[in-house]
Structure 1
Amino acid sequence: MVAERLTVSDVLLAPVQGAFFYDDQLAIREGVASDGFIYKGKPRTPGFSSIRMPAEALSVGLILSDDVIVWGDMMSVQYAGAGGRDPVFKTEAIMDLTHRVVWPRLKGLSIASFVDACSATLTADSERLPLAVSYGLSQALLQATAHAHRCTMAEIICREYDLPVFDRPVPLYAQSGDQRYINVDKMVLRRVDVLPHGLINSREKFGPKGETFLEFAKWVAQRVRALGGEEYNPTLHFDVYGWVGLEIGLSPSDIAVFIARVADDLSPFQLNIESPADYGSTRLQLDRYVEIVHQLERLGSSARIVVDEHCNTVEDIESFARSSAAHVIQIKAPDVGSVTDIVRAVLHCKTHGVGAYLGGSCVETDLSARVSTHVAVATQADMMLAKPGMGVDEGISIVRNEQNRLLTILRTSRLGGCKQA
């Protein structure tokens, strides 16, 4: 069969750009002043030449033995180097590593099995590849295997992980960036399932004792009802970048009381609070988030805690899910790395009854967003990020359109099912 004979014959590398900017979270958290779109002052996180930098990325193209080229995109996340993450992406260094280390593993590689191809290239020795490399390369390998079997990337995942093929859409979650008011209107008009993120990443946006944030959250609820009507009830999801802990204090009980108050004020909407506090390490983050979840349950609150920082790798995600250290876990795709680990992370969440939010970053590309859509539908994640970029419209259209195309294929029995070429 042709699928069994197809191999990688060569590699192309194309410098590209992510859809937003890499930001030094530590410098921003310390209160640096903004000047238009940039930040004043010196960066604090190693690897940053300025506090805000255009996002670099690198496309890796695999030339297959039938002369078809498939692509994947490598990049970091917006807040690279923070919360236990890999350092900021540097194109020249990654190009050099790919030529020296990755290409020898790829030459002549069979792409009949996606999982086997990833195992042979991404885990070939004890020293792990940068997660950005694993992420981009696994995207290309997934597309290669889908090409070999003449089916969708989602079907390859279902086939290799023994998952049922569902044609159900995954709820879409949009983030506002700093244009939080006008972008809420866009989200409501487009009727996304989860909104608005809000980018509450500074003392100015959170306010004394959280009053500025609470005022904004109430406005969001009122705006959703005013523009969306009584039948539209999205989940209200706010990322507060640790500012509950920074302003209210790190006591899990005090944090839970504050969040429960917000949930009461936003009723009847479901409230998600992402990253309420940053405890500085994975171990402390897990232990304290278990307490926050327990305290919310004790209060009888319906608010849900979403973990992001210090829960990066597939091993971290399994530990948080097993310990019920959050109601929802963000599986931030470039931080997890290989698509194989992203799939495993979603499945770990489902096994332990924790919400799986297939996220990512505004600095990703249209290509990585489309691949993520196939992963989300195949694994039936509980929600996924509309990415890339901070313009709202672009991310929603890329992910929603890819999802609708995929679902149409899966619902068409004439085309359904992987084929041996």
Structure 2
Amino acid sequence: MQIKDVVLAPGNGAFFYDDQGAIRSGAILDGFIYVGAPTTPGFNSIRIPASSLSVGLVLNDDTVVWGDMMNVQYSGAGGRDPLFDTNQISDLTSRVVVPRLLDVDASRYLDACAKVFEPSEHKQLPLAIEYGVSQALLRAAAHLHRTTMAEIVCGEFSLPLPTRGVPIYCQSGDAREINVDKMILKAVDVLPHGLINSRQKFGADGQTFMTFVKWVATRIRDIGGPGYHPVLHFDVYGWIGQEIGLEPQSIADFICKVADTVPDFLLNIESPADFGSTQAQIENYAKIVSILDNRGSSARIVVDERCNTLEDVRLFAEAKATHLVQIKTPDVGSIADTARAVLICKENGVGAYVGGSCTETDLSAQASVHVSVATQADMMLAKPGMGVDEAYSIVGNEQNRLLAMLNRRRVRAKNVG
């Protein structure tokens, strides 16, 4: 077998793990920390530096290929896996996963993933393990076949080699105005995220949020280059439902009102409300989608909370309970399942956004690019971190390198032919 050893290395995620429950309950920012007691199990404070765990596969030629495990920023919320525990994950990986890795054919990517991620003691492995190990296995297959990770994905899922890039979406974090300017100057495809995650940022009846939306549109016109016309995408973390109420009609009315303030732009509203369970989310989001579509609104809703796993993505897509699914890569688990999730969205006429979290790493971001481009997702997140510059360069440069390599491959094949 091609894997002769496995090494583990503790690491850092690019942002912090945050207790969403405490923040929604009104925890106040003091500088960069939140003041108050945590409410989500596993958190000993509301904001904790993100940790990660790298898994390195030592191949027979002594090449080491890596993948990174971590959880998302709001771990333990909305049906997600609990807070990442490096020691616990390291122990489980060493005991259960390593022996399996030493016994697979790493050149057969999907087969290797299926064998390594079999349940242990009748339980699914933590999704963080699936995520990190699947990245390493994808890099191993690419190395063994002397090809790119994207080409492995295309081969395994019988997809044509892509010729086009995927639009990139940047997130602002709390430095909203400065980061919006950066995004505009860099002509980012989709912006700005906004981090509308508290009553202070949303405002009474959403007025603070609406003012920000109008400011972003005005700023694009003021400092954007000729012909620059990005998609506007705002993540409101359920605050429309929190402030306006959980009636789908009222939520749709509010979204239409926001869209009317920026009529020249396509508007994405992510996580308009949290209805408390996956089933309730599907039923109510489907109603919101139907209302918006019947009105011919330019606004689209994007699901995040309560749509975590591959099966969740399937349920939302088949029910037409969203216009766009955020496929949150660490929550989906195996990055092969991210590819499957994009394809499920396409089969059902729903938009596929390969997202993830600010808590990720450069390695997980680069692997996500290859899956996004191979499956031709509708957009992908610039990650990791909450800044613009680093994440946009990591994802954008990886995409450009990949497209250059694929183009070279096509040209050579044509010349040989």
For this structure pair, what is the TM-score category when the shorter chain's length is used for normalisation? over 0.9
Distance 2:412 2:119 in 1: 34
SS of corresponding position for 2:408: coil
SS of corresponding position for 1:346: helix
1:316 matches 2:305 = no
Q: Which residue in 1 is equivalent to 2:197?
A: 201
1:143 matches 2:139 = yes
Structure 1 unpaired stretches of 5+: 1-5
Distance 1:16 1:167 in 2: 35
Query: 1:374 offset after TM fit, Å?
Result: 0.3
Q: Which residue in 2 is equivalent to 1:71?
A: 66
Q: Write out per-residue CA displacement over residues 321-342 of structure 1, whole angstroms, 9 at most, x where no aligned residue.
A: 0111000000000000001111
Distance 1:236 1:403 in 2: 22
* Structural mapping, 1:11-26, within 5 Å: 11-26=6-21
Distance 2:382 2:225 in 1: 23
Distance 2:67 2:30 in 1: 35
Distance 2:410 2:64 in 1: 26
SS of corresponding position for 1:45: coil
Contact 1:409 1:416 in 2 (8 A): no
Could you tell me which of 90, 98, 104 is aligned with 1:103? 98
Q: Which amino acid aligns with 2:49?
A: P
Query: 1:148 offset after TM fit, Å?
Result: 0.4
Distance 1:92 1:393 in 2: 32
Q: Which amino acid aligns with 1:100?
A: R
Percent identity, aligned pairs only, is: 64
Q: Which amino acid aligns with 2:112?
A: A
1:33 matches 2:28 = yes
Q: Which amino acid aligns with 1:213?
A: F
Q: Which residue in 2 is equivalent to 1:367?
A: 363
SS of corresponding position for 1:232: coil
Query: 1:230 offset after TM fit, Å?
Result: 4.9
* Structural mapping, 1:161-310, within 5 Å: 161-310=157-306
Contact 1:244 1:276 in 2 (8 A): yes
Distance 1:75 1:263 in 2: 35
Distance 1:415 1:122 in 2: 38
Contact 1:409 1:415 in 2 (8 A): no
Query: 1:151 offset after TM fit, Å?
Result: 0.2
Distance 2:337 2:236 in 1: 27
Which piece of structure 1 moves more, 104-113 or 93-102? Answer: 104-113
Could you tell me which of 381, 388, 391 is aligned with 2:387? 391
Which piece of structure 1 moves more, 224-233 or 372-381? Answer: 224-233
Distance 1:236 1:261 in 2: 15
Distance 1:363 1:185 in 2: 23
Q: Which residue in 2 is equivalent to 1:338?
A: 334
Q: Which amino acid aligns with 1:383?
A: M
CA RMSD of aligned residues (A): 1.1
Structure 2 unpaired stretches of 5+: none
Query: 1:107 offset after TM fit, Å?
Result: 1.5
Query: 1:416 offset after TM fit, Å?
Result: 7.0
Which piece of structure 1 moves more, 298-307 or 130-139? Answer: 298-307
Q: Which amino acid aligns with 2:146?
A: R
Q: Which amino acid aligns with 1:374?
A: H
Query: 1:300 offset after TM fit, Å?
Result: 2.3
Distance 2:87 2:300 in 1: 41
Could you tell me which of 67, 88, 91 is aligned with 1:93? 88
Distance 2:171 2:336 in 1: 26
Contact 1:191 1:232 in 2 (8 A): yes
SS of corresponding position for 1:412: helix
Query: 1:170 offset after TM fit, Å?
Result: 0.3
Distance 1:416 1:137, change over 3 A: farther
Q: Which residue in 2 is equivalent to 1:403?
A: 399
Query: 1:210 offset after TM fit, Å?
Result: 0.2
Runs of 4+, deviation exceeding 6 Å: 414-417
TM-score after normalising by structure 1: 0.96
SS of corresponding position for 2:409: coil
Query: 1:124 offset after TM fit, Å?
Result: 5.0
SS of corresponding position for 1:401: helix
Distance 2:378 2:249 in 1: 28
Distance 1:382 1:416, change over 3 A: farther
Q: Write out per-residue CA displacement over residues 226-278 of structure 1, whole angstroms, 9 at most, x where no aligned residue.
A: 11145111000000000000100100000000000110111111000000000
Query: 1:297 offset after TM fit, Å?
Result: 1.8
Distance 2:412 2:83 in 1: 40
Which piece of structure 1 moves more, 118-127 or 328-337? Answer: 118-127
Contact 2:119 2:125 in 1 (8 A): no
Contact 2:309 2:331 in 1 (8 A): yes
Q: Write out per-residue CA displacement over residues 166-204 of structure 1, whole angstroms, 9 at most, x where no aligned residue.
A: 121100000000000000000000101100000000000
